[in-house]
Structure 1
Amino acid sequence: MSVRALRGAVQLDRDERHHLLDEVRRLFQEMLRSNGLDQDDLVSVIFTATPDLVSEFPALAARELGMADVPLMCAQELDIAGSLPRVVRILAHAETDRPKPAIKHVYLGGAAALRRDLVPQDGASG
């Protein structure tokens, strides 16, 4: 079994606490589902948010899913001119037998623009 990194991102419609938590939960659950993983497979998770998101810590969404024994960390994205606003990114490390090319990275909504090379034509995930 290897440790693999899974990436994901979602662009929020607005900086509102419940919206942020709902969208981060949706993203995180889709990342796990797309890769056939559950919480026991996780080693650690890093959440980042663009500087315009201040209503809540994105990691709280994972805690609300019952992740009490997985190390979680939040950080702020670099404030780069012209970058996509209101984006939460997730970098999760998980134990899995999947080879690197089989890992599915998930980009929801407007965040699909971040990695067009990884997102299928429908723009839902990749």
Structure 2
Amino acid sequence: MIRGVRGATTVAENNDVEIIKATDELVKEMISKNHIAATDVAQVLISVTNDLDAVFPAAALRKIEGWSFVPVMCMQEIPVPNSLRKCIRVMMTVNTSIPQENINHIYLGNAVSLRPDLKAE
């Protein structure tokens, strides 16, 4: 079955070190909590708010062993007024036998405010 696994995090500053570190932490947590193997991933979409442009967050995935062939695309989030700033969002499309209601969507940093109803266990 194909499932979407969501995640989001925030950074304090628009710099390459912080963006890569936060993306790495988020993606590794998504992988761990959902038992995801790179070979089961169809694609990863990463969006950032328009105040983050220091680096492509996809670079974090390229550093994870076994993930070099996973298709990853970065894009800019819609700049909705009063939305969460300095936010990185990830949508992973994976093949998994986990039922949709048991997928662990991961929200870190200030991004926990986006979906308090989907807190990981």
TM-score, shorter chain, exceeding 0.5: yes
Pairing 1:55–2:47 present: no
Which residue number corresponds to residue 26 of structure 1?
A: 25
User: Matched residue of 1:117: which SS?
Assistant: helix
Displacement, 1:81? 0.8
Which residue number corresponds to residue 81 of structure 2?
A: 81
Aligned CA RMSD, in angstroms, stands at 1.0
Which residue number corresponds to residue 46 of structure 1?
A: 45
Pairing 1:104–2:104 present: yes
**CA offsets, 1:1-32, max 9 Å, x none?**
x1110000001111110110011000000001
Q: Normalised by the size of structure 2, how large is the TM-score? A: 0.95
User: Matched residue of 2:112: which SS?
Assistant: helix
User: Matched residue of 2:117: which SS?
Assistant: coil
User: Matched residue of 2:118: which SS?
Assistant: coil
Q: Give aligned pairs, total.
A: 120
Displacement, 1:117? 1.1
Same amino acid, percent of matched pairs: 32
Q: Normalised by the size of structure 1, how large is the TM-score? A: 0.91
Which residue number corresponds to residue 93 of structure 2?
A: 93
**Runs of 4+, deviation exceeding 2 Å:** none
**CA offsets, 1:33-80, max 9 Å, x none?**
001112122110000000000100011111121422111101100111
